[in-house]
C-alpha cells in the first residue's frame, strides 16, 4: 500500500512524459465558474459552427439546463451528420477482479472482502465464444488493477484470443507505459479507455488511498502513452458524482480536445458513467447527478467534439439509454455481465458495480432498429 506517496509525484518506475496538457486541463478546471454563464452565452454557443472551450463551458453550465431541447436538436444533427444512423454494439468481458488499489468508492477495492477470481486461457476462450454466438463483433476486455495478478502478458494473451474471434478489441485495464501499450497493440488491442475518476487533485488523493492508481499524473497521461504505443483510439471519462460533475465533465472534454489536437489521427471517445451503488457508497458522500444533467453532459460532449464516439453503458437504465442513442450516443453495451466468467454461466468472481440495464444483445438490437437506427456489430474492415 502506498498511502505515504504524494499523489502528484510519479513513482520511480513510472514512465514520465510532458505534463503540459495536464497543467492546462487542471488550470481550466480550477478556473471554471459555472455560474458566470447566461442564457445568452448558451444561445451564442448553439449558434456557432465550431465551439471553443468557453462555448463548451456554457453548455455545461446551469444556465444551459433551460436549453435542453435546442441542445438535443443540435446534438442530434451533429450525430447524424458524422455517424449517420449507426449505433455500435459491444460487450465488456471481465477476466479478473484482483486489485492492488485502495479506492474507497470501488467494488474491486483491495480491502473489500469479495470473491476474487482470474480466468485462465481456456475459460477466457469459452467466454469469448459465448459472446461471439450473440453476433457481437466488438469486445472490451477488463481486469482489476493488479499488475501482479493480471500482468501485461496475461492481458496480451487475452487480446490474441479476442482478435481471432472479434473485429474490434478494446481494453479497460490499469495504466501502463508506452512500451506495454505497444505490446498489447501488437497482440490485437485497438483502443484503450481510462477513467480519470475525478480531475480534482485534492479529492483524488482523498479517494485513492493506496496503490499505483493513487498517482494522479500517471493515470492522467495514460491516453497519451497509449497513442505513443500505437493504439488507434483512446477513451476518456470522469466518474460523475465523485466531485463537482460540471467541473469534471469540463476537464474531461478539454483533456480529450488537447489530445486530439496533439494526435490528430487518434479516434477519440467519451464514456459518461455515473457513480453506481457499491460496497462503500456511504463513505464518500456521492454527489447526485440526475438524468437531465447527465443528458446535458452527453449533449455538450457531442456538440463540442462532433467526431467523438460516445458510449452509454449498462450503468444507466433502459429508458435513458434508449432515449440518448437517438440524440448523441453512438455506442451502447449489450448482454452485459460484470462478474468474472458470467457469460458462460455462474460468475466465478464478484462484480465491480451494479448494472441497471440487463437486456441481451437481441433485445438491444431490436430496440435500436425500432427507432429507425442501424445496429452495427463492427464497422471496421481489415485487409
Q: What is the pLDDT of residue 277?
A: 55
Extract the C-alpha cell encoding 334: 449489450
Residue 355: pLDDT band (50, 70, 90) is: confident
Q: What is the pLDDT of residue 2?
A: 43
Q: What is the mean pLDDT of residues 303-312?
A: 97
Share of the chain above pLDDT 90, in %: 79
Q: What is the pLDDT of residue 1?
A: 42
Summarised one tens digit per residue, pLDDT across range 19-56 is: 799 999 999 999 999 999 999 999 999 999 999 999 99
Share of the chain above pLDDT 70, in %: 90
d(CA 74, CA 269): 19
What's the pTM value of the predicted model, to 2 decimals? 0.94
* Statement: residue 302 has pLDDT above 70: yes
Q: What is the pLDDT of residue 358?
A: 87
Domains contained in the chain, CATH given: 20-376 (3.20.20.70)
Residue 298: pLDDT band (50, 70, 90) is: very high
Summarised one tens digit per residue, pLDDT across range 239-274 is: 999 999 999 999 999 999 999 999 999 999 999 998
Distances (CA, A) of 274 to 172, 334, 345: 17, 18, 28
d(CA 157, CA 170): 14
Summarised one tens digit per residue, pLDDT across range 63-76 is: 999 999 999 999 99
Other beta carbons within 10 Å of 176: 24
Q: What is the phi/psi pair of residue 325, to 5°?
A: -70, -20
Q: What is the mean pLDDT of residues 88-102?
A: 91
Question: Which H or E element spans position 375?
Answer: strand 374-376
Q: What is the pLDDT of residue 109?
A: 65
Which parts of the chain fold into alpha helices (H)? 20-31, 39-46, 53-60, 68-83, 121-132, 152-165, 178-187, 201-207, 216-220, 222-228, 245-262, 291-304, 318-324, 361-370
DSSP helix, strand, coil percent of the chain (3-state; round to 5): 45, 15, 40
* Statement: residue 383 has pLDDT above 80: no
Summarised one tens digit per residue, pLDDT across range 96-114 is: 988 888 878 876 666 666 7
**Which of 1-15, 150-164, 168-182 has the lowest average pLDDT?**
1-15
Q: What is the mean pLDDT of residues 70-98?
A: 96
Q: What is the pLDDT of residue 214?
A: 95
* Statement: residue 279 has pLDDT above 60: no
Amino acid at each position: 500500500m502506498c498511502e505515504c506517496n504524494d499523489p502528484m509525484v510519479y513513482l520511480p518506475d513510472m514512465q514520465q512524459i510532458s505534463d503540459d496538457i495536464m497543467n492546462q486541463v487542471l488550470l481550466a478546471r480550477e478556473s471554471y465558474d459555472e455560474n458566470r454563464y447566461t442564457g445568452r452565452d448558451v444561445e451564442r454557443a448553439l449558434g456557432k459552427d465550431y465551439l471553443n472551450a468557453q462555448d463548451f463551458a456554457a453548455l455545461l453550465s446551469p444556465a444551459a439546463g433551460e436549453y435542453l431541447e435546442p441542445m438535443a436538436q443540435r446534438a442530434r444533427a451533429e450525430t447524424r451528420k458524422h455517424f449517420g444512423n449507426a449505433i455500435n454494439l459491444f460487450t465488456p468481458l471481465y477476466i479478473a477482479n484482483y486489485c492492488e488499489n485502495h479506492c474507497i468508492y470501488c467494488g474491486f477495492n483491495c480491502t473489500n472482502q469479495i470473491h476474487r477470481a482470474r480466468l485462465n486461457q481456456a475459460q477466457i476462450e469459452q467466454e469469448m465464444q459465448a459472446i461471439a454466438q450473440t453476433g457481437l463483433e466488438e469486445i472490451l476486455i477488463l481486469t482489476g488493477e493488479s499488475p501482479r495478478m493480471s500482468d501485461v502478458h496475461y492481458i496480451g494473451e487475452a487480446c490474441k484470443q479476442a482478435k481471432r474471434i472479434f473485429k474490434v478489441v478494446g481494453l479497460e485495464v490499469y495504466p501502463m507505459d508506452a512500451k506495454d501499450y505497444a505490446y498489447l497493440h501488437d497482440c490485437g488491442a485497438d483502443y484503450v479507455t481510462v477513467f480519470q475518476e475525478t480531475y480534482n487533485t485534492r479529492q483524488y488523493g482523498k479517494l485513492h488511498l493506496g496503490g499505483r492508481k493513487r498517482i494522479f499524473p500517471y493515470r492522467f497521461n495514460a491516453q497519451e502513452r497509449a497513442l505513443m504505443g500505437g493504439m488507434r483510439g483512446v477513451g476518456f471519462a470522469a466518474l460523475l458524482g465523485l466531485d463537482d460533475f460540471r467541473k469534471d465533465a469540463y476537464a474531461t472534454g478539454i483533456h480529450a480536445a488537447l489530445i486530439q489536437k496533439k494526435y490528430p489521427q487518434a479516434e477519440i471517445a467519451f464514456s459518461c458513467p455515473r457513480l453506481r451503488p457499491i460496497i462503500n457508497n456511504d463513505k464518500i458522500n456521492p454527489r447526485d447527478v440526475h438524468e437531465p444533467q447527465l443528458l446535458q453532459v452527453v449533449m455538450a460532449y457531442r456538440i463540442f467534439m462532433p467526431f467523438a464516439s460516445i458510449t452509454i453503458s449498462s450503468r444507466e437504465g433502459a429508458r435513458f439509454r434508449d432515449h440518448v442513442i437517438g440524440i448523441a450516443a453512438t455506442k451502447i453495451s449489450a448482454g452485459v455481465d460484470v462478474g468474472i466468467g458470467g457469460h458462460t454461466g455462474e460468475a466465478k468472481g464478484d462484480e465491480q458495480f451494479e448494472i441497471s440495464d440487463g437486456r441481451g444483445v437481441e433485445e438491444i438490437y431490436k430496440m435500436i432498429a425500432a427507432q429507425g437506427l442501424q445496429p452495427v456489430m463492427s464497422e471496421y474492415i481489415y485487409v
